[in-house]
Amino acid sequence: MRILVVEDDQLAAQALTEILSSQNYAVEVASDGIAGWEMVEAYDYDLILLDVMLPRMDGISLCRELRSHGYTMPVLLLTGRDSGHDKAIGLDAGADDYVVKPFDAEELVARVRALLRRSGMASMPVLEWGKLRFDPTSCEVTCNGKPLSLTPKEYALLELFLRNSRRVFSCGMILEHLWSYDETPGEEAVRTHIKGLRQKLKAAGLPPDAIETVYGIGYRLKPLEPTPASPEIAKTTTSEPAEPLKQQAIALLMKTWNRFKGRVSEQVSVIEQAVLALQSHALTAELRQQARQEAHTLAGSLGTFGFPEGSRLARQIEQLIQGEKLLGEKECRSLQQWVMALRHEIERPPHGQHLLPESEDESRPLLLVVDPDRVLAEQIVAEAQKNGLRGAIALSLSAARRQFHSDRPDVVLLDLEIAEHLEDGLALLADLNRHTPPTPILVYSAQADVNDRLAIAQQGRHTFLQKPLPPDQILEIVLRVLQRIDKAASRVMIVDDDVGTLSTLQTLLRPWGLHVTTLADPRHFLETLEACSPDLLILDVEMPHISGIELCRVVRNDSRWGGLPILFLTAHTEPEVVNQVFTAGADDFISKPIVGPELVTRIMNRLERLKLLRDRAEVDPLTKVANRQKSTQDLDHFLQRARKHGDPLCLAVLDLDALKQINGQYGHAMGDAVLRYLGGLLRQSFYGEDVVARWAGGEFVVGMYGVNQKGAVQRLLKVLDTLKHHAFVPTEPTGNNTPAIDPVPDAQPPLRHVSFSAGVAEFPSHGEDLRSLYRAADEALQQAKQTGRSRIMLAPLPAADQEVAHG
Amino acid sequence: MSKRILVVDNEEYIREVAQICLETVAGWEVLTAASGMEGIAIAIEEKPDAILLDIMMPDMDGIATFQKLQENEATRSIPVVLLTAKVQAADRRRYEALGIRAAIAKPFDPLQLASQVATALNWSL
């Protein structure tokens, strides 16, 4: 719980802070009314303790201001002893309670507690969750009657969850509630405390997942007992939790239902006609038999679609009209009622929809796993969901086709063992390839031999993975493939609860070659953000569950998204809203209704500038490879991955031989031409998981992930070979104004051939971090230079002779 | 490799539902037929591992279809599971006497269909 104390008397403020902190509240102090107002606007508080007499803006006015701006947190006034008038107007201004100065600590704490309780979060003075009892009065927590010893932060965390038992809290939100602004630590701190609290709860005998992780959003207290489904529903659509495969089946069934709803409605019509005819004594034997047949079909199928009551009604109807028995008036009336009820029943949404994950956001990328091994497939899908993707599974060829056409995946992971014969698998591959734009397909297999791989390759360009591979590594590759497709287009992510606005924006932005991801439910914000990794974010201000302003704060609090441009979209243009929006960290503001051209211009401008800035910041203008800063980041990233997975990584330092002489002899334009050529050559030779950068003059750095020393040397030798065979046409040393002449192979002399020297170091034997790897590689480079240039040298391994590879 | 099962039902949406459930949840290959006659033809042609047969169909009902399958050398050994509204003990005894492997009640639970079929046929899921 976070409390703001607005008090100009320093001593009083300090005393209040101490008293409240001792109760595990996070306390912040503002020393005048205006400061108090600004803090309320910037941060979330659960309660405000407000002195009446304040400089700049008095407490009563501040209180009025708060209420008129829709802030609803409880306000506790601090008043002088004899100021009955203050109390009255204070309460009128919207304060909830008051405490008379000099205050009694115990009374103050009790009133704070009462207000927090009253503010609607929980009504019980003692909070309970299963066997857990939390008594805010005595600050005691017990489980099964046994006391639990919690740290102040764990205590506050538990209180937050208990008081808001249904709410999900993101790390950012927890930080806001539990820490005051000036002590706000990183999100790891929240995770550490959650971990600690979980361990203690588990040790006390509570389920280990009492505090649930809601993927991509945050944490919440696990709901105690899921409300049991009614027995009728339970019988047909089962009460067990739907696993991914079953969820998929339900989703497909819903589609089938929607497709056949018309047919079912016709079947009910036949029965209705029969009943009408019966009432007017005109029911033919033929119509009766037809109605009976339809009733039979409906009885046998409606339950399957999630209408158990429909099946029951149809069965009753069937039984009544079968045979040729004459029906009396009473039976006629029953029939009429049942048919009406049946009609009513099929018009409502089927049961079973509740088994589907709540509004699984369709804009998240979908991974289809085609694998006969269900356990592995489910693991991969679980991993995909952790990474913000949606997952679907197909255990057979036909399921793969159906799933592929029913919900087009963004990427497919295909195990060819799904097919008994490779040809069938290849036929599927060919089928899937037929669609435009082509869906990237990752083929993985345990036993594909060279011929198989050749056949697979003939079906188009696919990434091939060798089984077995742990699910998290598979996912890493999947994510990389997804990023690769998206790389070309700028990505825009739009969050708005109004589906109409989303589709308008989609239609507006798509033609501009933008990759647009839309999200209607802000609760899936974080995982969507991770998955989509946008270049620009558009947020609606007002949304259910989480407002755009809150989302904006979350983004701004995360260092990775610090530079992401955020545009707000809203119908509210009052200065307060605008102010709030910018305070939260927005870059721009667009008012609704949307004016197409204006919106597009603003977005395109932002993106252009961003690209320009990014290029300027990351790319060496001469050679078009990354600069040192950018490559350092990338290399650190790859080193981290290598450490995590125990993969090899090589770092090479290259230096052009005799660059100084070239510059001196032919002029700098010639030197530039050589550098430009080498840059292009390196970019062509190293890509994907390689890093290429120019660090200084003629010095380039190449990082090769997943490659050992031997492989690295081979690849570098190839580059060196190409470079050495390339003839550069020198520019006139005296130089007219023409820039460097582009290298022309096989042109007439005088030609100049160039070479480079390089040193290679491998992770982790030569060093664990970039600095030590660079040092080792650079030492090897110096050796290469000293021993005659134009060669690649390995950094010496401890107690091993160094090898030289001549180019 | 994955099992192949033939679903015979005159109602299109029931065939589709059964197909979706068996394909998606169990990963079996599913063939479908809209009548007893078509079912027999496909069974002879494709030799599925099992047949899921609706009992009440116009023209040739499930029982008649089953008997025809029994008469044919090529299809005699294919196990048959009935889909039927009648699953009282007496009904089950009747089916058993005919040589039908099992009967699954209609309407079936779409999510349980695969495991019901697997249990009836002693297949693993």
Highest mean pLDDT among A60-69, A621-630, A648-657: A648-657
Across A289-293, A604-608, B94-98, least confident range: A604-608
Across A93-97, A114-118, A239-243, A267-271, least confident range: A239-243
| DSSP E strand boundaries for chain B | 4-8, 29-33, 50-54, 80-84, 102-105
Distance between CA atoms of residues A294 and A223, nearest Å: 43
At A612, the pLDDT band (50, 70, 90 cuts) reads low
Please state, as a whole number, how many other Cβ atoms lie within 10 Å of the Cβ of residue A709: 20
Bigger pLDDT: A6 vs A169: A6
- pLDDT of residue A807 exceeding 60: no
- Compare all CA atoms of chain A with the CA of B112 and give the residue at the minimum distance: A238
User: Is there a common fold for A2-121 and A357-486?
Assistant: yes
Q: Is A421's Cβ below 8 Å from some Cβ in B?
A: no
Q: Which CATH number fits domain A127-167+182-221: 1.10.357.10, 1.10.10.10, 3.30.160.100, 1.20.1440.230?
A: 1.10.10.10
* Percentage of residues of chain B with pLDDT beyond 70: 99
Q: What is the ipTM, given to two decimal places? A: 0.89
Please state, as a whole number, how many other Cβ atoms lie within 10 Å of the Cβ of residue B89: 7
Distance between CA atoms of residues A657 and B87, nearest Å: 88
Helix (H, G, I), strand (E, B) or coil at B47: coil
Across A481-485, A700-704, B28-32, least confident range: A481-485
Distance between CA atoms of residues A367 and A378, nearest Å: 12
- Compare all CA atoms of chain A with the CA of B17 and give the residue at the minimum distance: A253
pLDDT for the residue A124: 45
- pLDDT of residue A437 exceeding 70: no
CB A119 within 8 A of CB A1: no
| Maximum C-alpha span of chain A | 116
* H or E, element range at A781: helix A770-786
- pLDDT of residue A662 exceeding 60: yes
Q: DSSP letters along A338-391, please?
A: HHHHHHHHHHSPPTTGGGSPTT--TTS-EEEEE-S-HHHHHHHHHHHHHTT-EE
pLDDT for the residue A192: 87
Q: Do A399 and B13 make contact, defined as CB atoms within 8 angstroms?
A: no
* H or E, element range at A759: strand A756-763
- pLDDT of residue A38 exceeding 90: no
Q: Is A247's Cβ below 8 Å from some Cβ in B?
A: no
**Lookup: tokens for A570:** 């809203």
Q: Is B25's Cβ below 8 Å from some Cβ in A?
A: yes
- pLDDT of residue A738 exceeding 60: no
Nearest to A683 by CA among A738, A746, A619, A730: A619
Q: Do A398 and B30 make contact, defined as CB atoms within 8 angstroms?
A: yes
In angstroms, the separation between the Cα of residue A420 and the nearest Cα of chain B is 6
Per-domain residue ranges of chain A: 2-121, 127-167+182-221, 242-354, 357-486, 489-617, 628-806
First-residue to last-residue Cα distance in chain A: 68
* Tens digit of each residue's pLDDT (9 = 90 or more) over A298-340: 999 898 888 888 999 999 999 888 877 778 888 888 899 999 9
pLDDT for the residue A623: 87
CATH superfamily assigned to domain A2-121: Response regulator (3.40.50.2300)
CB A777 within 8 A of CB A761: yes
Distance between CA atoms of residues A311 and A633, nearest Å: 63
Which one of A264, A301, A394 has the shortest CB-CB distance to B107? A301
* Angle (deg, nearest 10), helices A770-786 and A628-645: 110
- Report the length, in residues, of chain A: 807
CB A680 within 8 A of CB A700: no
How confident is the model over A341-368, as a mean pLDDT? 71
Which pairing describes strands B50-54 and B4-8: parallel, antiparallel, or unpaired?
parallel
Residue range A628-806 in CATH 3.30.70.270? yes
pLDDT for the residue A226: 43
- pLDDT of residue A354 exceeding 60: no
C-alpha distances out from residue A292 to A283, A315, A318, A481, A725, Å: 12, 10, 5, 55, 87
* Tens digit of each residue's pLDDT (9 = 90 or more) over A71-100: 778 889 888 756 666 667 777 777 888 888
Q: Do A399 and B108 make contact, defined as CB atoms within 8 angstroms?
A: no
Q: Which CATH number fits domain A489-617: 3.40.50.720, 3.90.25.10, 3.40.50.2020, 3.40.50.2300?
A: 3.40.50.2300
In angstroms, the separation between the Cα of residue A782 and the nearest Cα of chain B is 60
Q: Do B14 and A242 make contact, defined as CB atoms within 8 angstroms?
A: no
Q: Which fold has domain A357-486?
A: Rossmann fold (3.40.50)
- Compare all CA atoms of chain A with the CA of B109 and give the residue at the minimum distance: A236
Q: Do B106 and A399 make contact, defined as CB atoms within 8 angstroms?
A: no
pLDDT for the residue A238: 37
Distance between CA atoms of residues A316 and A661, nearest Å: 99
Which one of B23, B27, B109 has the shortest CB-CB distance to A236? B109
pLDDT for the residue A94: 78
Distance between CA atoms of residues A50 and A13, nearest Å: 10
Which one of A236, A237, A256 has the shortest CB-CB distance to B20? A256
Nearest to B28 by CA among B52, B54, B5: B5
**Lookup: tokens for A777:** 């590689």
Q: Do A263 and B85 make contact, defined as CB atoms within 8 angstroms?
A: no
* H or E, element range at A478: helix A471-487
DSSP conformational letter for A648? -
Nearest to A158 by CA among A123, A128, A189, A187: A128
Q: DSSP letters along A133-169, please?
A: EEETTTTEEEETTEE----HHHHHHHHHHHHTTT--B
Which one of A263, A304, A374 has the shortest CB-CB distance to B17? A304
- Domain covering A242-354 in this structure, CATH number: 1.20.120.160
* Tens digit of each residue's pLDDT (9 = 90 or more) over A585-600: 888 887 777 777 777 7
pLDDT for the residue B113: 92
Across A240-254, A310-324, A417-431, least confident range: A240-254
* Tens digit of each residue's pLDDT (9 = 90 or more) over A386-415: 777 888 999 888 889 888 888 888 889 998
Distance between CA atoms of residues A634 and A440, nearest Å: 25
Q: Do A399 and B23 make contact, defined as CB atoms within 8 angstroms?
A: yes
* Tens digit of each residue's pLDDT (9 = 90 or more) over A205-245: 887 778 887 655 678 887 765 433 333 333 333 334 457 78
- With beta carbons under 8 A apart, name residues in chain B contacting A305: 17, 110
Give the best residue of B14, B30, B111 to mutate against chain A (max A CB count within 10 A). B111
Q: Do B14 and A304 make contact, defined as CB atoms within 8 angstroms?
A: yes
* Percentage of residues of chain A with pLDDT beyond 90: 19
DSSP conformational letter for A535? S
* Tens digit of each residue's pLDDT (9 = 90 or more) over A710-733: 889 999 999 999 999 888 887 654
**Lookup: tokens for A347:** 């018009």
Mean pLDDT, rounded, of chain A = 81
- With beta carbons under 8 A apart, name residues in chain B contacting A403: 24
At A433, the pLDDT band (50, 70, 90 cuts) reads confident
First-residue to last-residue Cα distance in chain B: 12
Nearest to A210 by CA among A127, A132, A133, A122: A132
* Percentage of residues of chain A with pLDDT beyond 70: 84
DSSP conformational letter for A626? B
Helix (H, G, I), strand (E, B) or coil at A77: strand
Q: What angle do CA A780, A786, A790 make, to 5 degrees?
A: 80
Q: Is A235's Cβ below 8 Å from some Cβ in B?
A: yes
At A125, the pLDDT band (50, 70, 90 cuts) reads low
Bigger pLDDT: A226 vs A544: A544
Residue with tokens 């509004």: A359
Sheet of A132-135: strands edge to edge? Answer: A127-129, A132-135, A140-143, A146-147
**Lookup: tokens for B82:** 């009935």
Residue with tokens 């309320």: A40
CATH top class, domain B4-116 = alpha beta
Distance between CA atoms of residues A314 and A788, nearest Å: 93
pLDDT for the residue A138: 72
Give the best residue of B24, B28, B29 to mutate against chain A (max A CB count within 10 A). B24
Sheet of A390-394: strands edge to edge? Answer: A390-394, A366-370, A411-415, A441-445, A463-466
Q: Do A246 and B14 make contact, defined as CB atoms within 8 angstroms?
A: no
**Displacement of CA A356 from its chain's centroid (Å):** 20
Helix (H, G, I), strand (E, B) or coil at A440: coil
